[in-house]
A and B are shown apart, each in its own frame.
Chain A
Amino acid sequence: MKVCLVGSSGGHLTHLYMLKEFWQDKEHFWVTFPKKDAINLLDKEKMYSCYFPTNRNLKNLIKNTFLAIKILKKEKPDLIVSSGAAVAVPFFYIGKLLRIKTVYIEVFDRINRATLTGRLVYPVTDLFIVQWEEMKKVYPKAKNLGSIF
Chain B
Amino acid sequence: MIFVTVGTHEQPFNRLIKKIDQLKGQNKITDEVFIQIGYSTYLPKNCQYQKFVSPAKMQLLIKQASVIITHGGPSSFIEVIRQGKTPIVVPRQKKFNEHVNDHQLTFCTDLQKRGFPIKAVTNIEDLDEAICAEKDNQLSKFHSNNQRFNQRLETLLRQLF
Decide yes or no whether A71 CB sits under 8 A from chain B: no
| A103 near B157: Cβ-Cβ < 8 Å | yes
| A147 near B73: Cβ-Cβ < 8 Å | no
Contacting residues, chain A, for B136 (C-beta < 8 A): none
Pick from B10, B52, B76, B148: contact of A11, CB below 8 A.
B76
Contacting residues, chain A, for B161 (C-beta < 8 A): 1, 78, 101
Q: Mark A42-82, 1 if CB is under 8 A from B, else 0.
A: 00000000001101100000000000000000000011000
Cα-based distance from A36 to B7 in the complex (angstroms)? 12
| A149 near B8: Cβ-Cβ < 8 Å | no
Q: Mark A13-55, 1 if CB is under 8 A from B, else 0.
A: 0110011111000000000000111001100000000001101
Pick from B8, B82, B106, B156: contact of A37, CB below 8 A.
B8
| A145 near B152: Cβ-Cβ < 8 Å | yes
Cα-based distance from A134 to B146 in the complex (angstroms)? 19
Decide yes or no whether B9 CB sits under 8 A from chain A: yes
Closest to A14 in B: B75
Pick from A10, A36, A56, A129: contact of B73, CB below 8 A.
A10
Residues in A99-113 with C-beta less than 8 Å from chain B: 101, 103, 107-111, 113
Residues in B135-153 with C-beta less than 8 Å from chain A: 144-153
Tell whether A55 pairs with B10 under 8 Å between CB atoms, given A10-B73, A149-B74. Answer: yes
Closest to A1 in B: B161
Contacting residues, chain B, for A103 (C-beta < 8 A): 153, 157, 160
Pick from B55, B145, B154, B156: contact of A148, CB below 8 A.
B145
Residues of A that sit less than 8 Å from B by CB: 1, 9-11, 14-15, 18-22, 35-37, 40-41, 52-53, 55-56, 78-79, 101, 103, 107-111, 113, 115, 126-127, 129, 143, 145-149
Instruction: List 6 A-B pairs, minimum CB-CB distance, nearest first.
Output: A10-B8, A14-B75, A11-B75, A21-B150, A147-B145, A11-B73
